[in-house]
Each structure stands twice: as structure tokens, then as C-alpha cells.
Amino acid sequence: MGSVIKWRRKKIRKHKYKKLRKRMRHQRK
């Protein structure tokens, strides 16, 4: 399930994902 959300968020909005990627890295742990 974690893998599906990873590529689903990238396909949904690459621009928003780039900004959230920095915050998700901290919240993913």
C-alpha cells in the first residue's frame, strides 16, 4: 500500500509533490 501512494501522489501533482517531498521525508519516519 505504501508503494501505491508513492507513485499515486507523484502522478497526481508533480509540482505539489516536490514541495511536500521535503516535509513527507520528515513525517514518513
Number of folded domains that form the chain: 1
d(CA 16, CA 29): 20
d(CA 18, CA 15): 5
> Please, are residues 17 and 10 in contact by the beta-carbon 8 Å criterion?
yes
Task: Compute the chain's Rg from CA coordinates.
Answer: 9
Residue 22's pLDDT is 72
* Residue 9 neighbours by CB distance under 10 Å: 15
Residue 27's pLDDT is 61
Taking residues 8-27, report their average pLDDT: 67
Q: What is the pTM of this model?
A: 0.19
Q: Is 22 helix (H, G, I), strand (E, B) or coil?
A: helix
User: Domain span at residue 25?
Assistant: 1-29
Query: Counting every residue, how long is the chain?
Result: 29
